[in-house]
Structure 1
Amino acid sequence: MKPIDPAALRRSRMFLLLIALVFAAPMIVAGLLSWSGWQPGVKGNGQPIQPQRNFVDEKLPVQLTDGQPYAWRDSEPRLTLVVLAGPDCAAHCFEVLTGLAKARVMLNRNQSRLRLLYLGAPPADATRRAAMQAYWSLGSDVDGKLAEYRPTTPDSVSALLVESNGTALSFYPAGFDGPGLLRDMQKVIK
């Protein structure tokens, strides 16, 4: 039997450690980034609701225009896009609402998993109001518990995306990015 060269043994062990390091390095870097709070690709376009709110637990009353209370929990799991109108909802407000209704249609087979709820005075124009009712449930925030999310700018809207259990996921202030909201909806509605 031939004697083992100690230099060759050290070299082969070094190569083995380098190969292990090549495979372990990405996992170590990912662990450090995650531990520091950085998460790739999880940032939504809306603002997170802090502190977390659950409208079912708060017993947040919303009354629909037909006099019925709005059920945050539905018979099937569906998210709710709540739109809060600023004062004097007119042309721009209606344009945003139409865009959001189109975004719901763009969810294709998942569009039934999203409910649209409009809170505030509907547009004064009867034609626009009738067009809204085809896609939106119209109602009012009875106790004003959502006032902090309502825009103060005339002819504007803000939005809240609410989970099927009544938990508010994100807030989209007036002037929000419609395509960004659609991307967020596509992430959570599957």
Structure 2
Amino acid sequence: MNPMKPADPAAVRKSRIFLLLIALVFAAPMIVAGLLSWSGWQPGTKGNGEPILPQRNFVDEQLRVELANGQPYAWRDSEPRLTLVALAGPDCAAQCLSTLTKMAAARVTLNRNQSRLRLLYLGAPPVNDAGAGMRNYWQLGQDVDGKLAGYRPTTPDSVSAVLVESNGTALSLYRAGFDPSGLRKDLQKVIK
């Protein structure tokens, strides 16, 4: 019979260290990802708008918007759709109208999902809106109680925007001077 030789302790220790190193190579990316997530860093989740904090729900606040036809605006729709609210600064003219046109174009780029976004414009229609072309894309209305005044720009010929979830929760604020292409990217992320 061939009795087993006792294992060399140095060889056992070397093979255990080698096994631990292999395990560490596979575990290291998960450990790093966990640490980054725990610290609050998330890759690719930053939107172009500012998150609205503290969170507001326009349904709960009973934020009243009266449309141009005299009807109240329903924040909750018959189907789940987001609302992009445009708030014009004083004297909305050429620059303001250009931004509004780019915002409407961002909706068009959603292709088959464009019906999942409603466009609501609050304020006096732009001075340069020849032929009332805004009505083709935007619902026009007024913030009855002025509850959105804090989001409305004070700079003449400018516009800001608020993206509102289908349940009436305000998600993001795009301050006057925002990049409409950044808004388009955000819309493509949230409307799928």
The answer to whether the Cα contact below 8 Å between 2:97 and 2:129 also exists between their aligned partners in 1 is no
Is 2:88 the partner of 1:85? yes
Amino acid at match of 1:131: G
State how far apart, in whole Å, the 1-side matches of 2:115 and 2:146 are: 28
User: CA shift at 1:2, angstroms?
Assistant: 3.1
- 2: CA distance between counterparts of 1:44 and 1:103? 15
Residue 38 of structure 1, CA deviation: 1.2
Alpha-carbon shift at residue 33 of structure 1 (Å): 1.2
Q: Which runs of 4+ in 1 moved over 6 A?
A: none
TM-score (norm 1): 0.97
CA root-mean-square deviation? 1.0
Q: CA–CA distance in 2 between the matches of 1:40 and 1:15?
A: 33
Verify: 1:101 aligned to 2:89, yes or no: no
Structure 1 residue aligned with 2:190: 188
Indicate the SS of the match to 1:159: strand
Give the C-alpha shift of residue 125 in structure 1: 4.1
Q: TM-score, normalization: structure 2? A: 0.96
Unaligned runs of 5+ in 1: none
Find 1:22's aligned residue among 22, 25, 28: 25
Specify the alignment match of 1:6 in structure 2.
9
Aligned equivalent of 2:70? 67
* Alignment match of 1:37 (pick from 36, 40, 55): 40
Instruction: Percent identity, please.
Output: 79
Q: How many pairs does the alignment contain? A: 189
Determine the C-alpha separation between the residues in 1 that align with 2:180 and 2:105: 10
Distance 1:182 1:66 in 2: 29
Name the larger-Rg structure: 2
Q: Which runs of 5+ in 2 are unaligned?
A: none
In the alignment, is the contact (CA less than 8 A) between 2:94 and 2:128 conserved in 1?
no
